[in-house]
Homo-oligomer: A and B are copies of this chain.
Amino acid sequence: METPVETTRERLLNVAEQRFGEGGYEGTSLRAITVAAAANIAAVNYHFGSKEALLRAAVARAMAPVNAERRRRLDQLEAGAPPTPEALIRAFVEPGLELVLRRGERGAVVARFIGRIAFDPSRRIRELYAVESEPIESRYLAALQQALPQASPDAVAFGYMNMLGLLALHQSQALSPTPGAAGTEDPGKLAENLVTFLVAAFDHGLRS
């Protein structure tokens, strides 16, 4: 097989995902990242321009396939009969959690990274996540509103935010030392449990 040469740029992004997901943006130094990536400190500013630009590139790379899959599922759903809330919830949650299942340790690192960034203490960092998922958000909200005609727009937005929060919570706990704390020994069942939980809340817990 061909030599899987990792460029300095790729190594920096990989390590950034791991370290930023572990210690957060402010809690992780460029020096720690470059040492782990076997790169020179100046390489970050050469390839990306700044620490925040490195984070931005890492967020974009990590979220691209997840959001692409969400878009694909949403397209598919909108092509057929009006989707149920469950179908919409699956289309959002499953791409975010299949990372852990389908791509092993590396996927778990990515999942944790995404989950942490989504609720970073700094507003500027959180907005990196928001910007990345903004294009798909309005489509989701509209589809949810159609699937839940009895719920007010405020209620739909409330449910969406809770879905976002719980997904980020369980993503951020990927690789955590106490996986049992996620409420399931088998990580493969996590997505099912979360979907069941959210579907019940959406179907019975949004005020009209």
Contacts and interface: CB of A to CB of B under 8 A. Distances in A.
Interface of A: 22-27, 116, 119-122, 154-155, 157-159, 161-162, 165-166, 169, 172, 180-185, 192-193, 196-201, 203-207
A89 to B, nearest CB: 11
Contact of A203 (B157, B200, B206): B200
22 contacts: A24-B24, A25-B121, A26-B27, A26-B121, A27-B122, A119-B169, A157-B180, A157-B183, A158-B183, A158-B193, A161-B169, A161-B181, A162-B166, A162-B169, A162-B183, A165-B165, A165-B169, A166-B166, A193-B207, A197-B205, A200-B201, A200-B203
A123 to B, nearest CB: 8
A158 B26 contact: no
8 tightest A-B CB contacts, nearest first: A158-B183, A24-B121, A200-B205, A200-B204, A201-B201, A26-B26, A197-B205, A165-B169
B184 A158 contact: yes
Given A154-B180, A161-B169, A192-B207, 18 more contacts: A24-B26, A24-B120, A26-B27, A27-B122, A119-B119, A119-B172, A120-B121, A157-B181, A158-B197, A159-B183, A161-B182, A161-B183, A165-B165, A166-B166, A197-B205, A200-B201, A200-B205, A203-B204
Contacts of A161: 169, 181-183
Contact of A158 (B116, B182, B203): B182
A46 to B, nearest CB: 26
